[in-house]
């Protein structure tokens, strides 16, 4: 019996150390929505002049109010769901249509600094994107939905309010929103 416990102890110790290191690695990993947002910001930044910066992120308190008509383009590289655009030429595009409403939604206010060629004036434009987790019984993917092009329309502001993106709404002042 004593021999068995002497042989089992190193095995249990090794297993515990491996499990602890896996947990530590997982704790240092950013959440999936953040990884998806980072890919999108990098992709958009590579396509335009200027810098794209995340101004504010607000988790929707009522994501079930997010609908297809709030978005005009969908970005993602996930293997499960179809998107309009991929981040790379090798990007994957899944076979299934997106299911609505998504399980979770983050409303993201982005600012893009562009240099005007006429007067060398730096101008900031704002857009809203939604990082959404779509899932069915077996699969889930994070995708980016680009929001309306005019952030000041009453319909878009009401849609944000229904979703519970209150921090983003507070930042949307007509004087600071241009497109």
Beta bridge partners of 122: 115
Please indicate, yes or no, whether residues 75 and 139 belong to a single structural domain of this protein: yes
Instruction: Give residue 36's pLDDT.
Output: 94
**Span 118-143, pLDDT tens digits:** 556 567 888 999 999 999 999 899 99
**Structural domain that includes position 20:** 1-29
Query: Is-contact 105 132, C-beta < 8 A?
Result: yes
pTM over 0.95: no
Q: Are 75 and 84 in contact (CB under 8 A)?
A: yes
Report the share of the chain in percent with pLDDT over 90: 41
8 or 134, which is more confident?
134
Instruction: Specify whether 39 is located in the same domain as 83.
Output: yes
The larger pLDDT score, comparing residue 167 to residue 94, is at 167
Claim to verify: residue 9 and residue 79 sit in the same structural domain: no
Q: Looking at the structure, tell me whether residues 62 and 148 fall in a common domain.
A: yes
Shared domain for 23 and 36, answered yes or no, is no
- Quote the CA–CA distance of 12 and 18 in Å, as a whole number: 10
Helices (H), the chain: 2-28, 32-47, 154-163, 166-171
Q: Are residues 94 and 114 in the same domain?
A: yes
For residues 17 and 40, give the distance between their C-alpha atoms in angstroms, rounded to a whole number: 36
Dump pLDDT digits (tens) for 85-110: 988 777 667 889 999 999 999 999 99
Q: Which residues of 47-72 are buried (b: 16+ CB within 10 A; e: fewer)?
A: eeeeebeebbbbebeebebbeeebbe
Q: Mean pLDDT, the chain, as a whole number? A: 81
> How many domains does the structure of the chain reveal?
2
Same domain, 125 and 142: yes
């Amino acid at each position: 019996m004593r021999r068995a416990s002497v042989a089992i102890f190193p095995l249990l110790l090794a297993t515990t150390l491996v499990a602890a290191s896996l947990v530590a690695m997982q704790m240092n990993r950013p959440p999936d929505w953040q990884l998806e947002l980072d890919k999108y910001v990098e992709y958009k930044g590579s396509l335009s002049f200027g810098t794209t910066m995340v101004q504010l992120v607000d988790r929707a308190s009522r994501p079930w109010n997010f609908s297809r008509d709030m978005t005009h383009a969908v970005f993602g590289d996930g293997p499960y769901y179809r998107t309009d655009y991929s981040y790379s030429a090798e990007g994957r595009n899944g076979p299934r249509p997106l299911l609505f409403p998504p399980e979770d939604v983050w409303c993201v206010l982005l600012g893009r600094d562009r240099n005007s060629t006429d007067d060398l004036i730096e101008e900031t434009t704002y857009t809203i994107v939604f990082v959404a987790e779509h899932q069915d019984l077996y699969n889930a993917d994070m995708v980016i939905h680009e929001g309306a092009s005019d952030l000041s329309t009453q319909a878009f502001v009401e849609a944000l309010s229904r979703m519970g993106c209150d921090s983003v709404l507070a930042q949307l002042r007509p004087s600071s929103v241009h497109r």
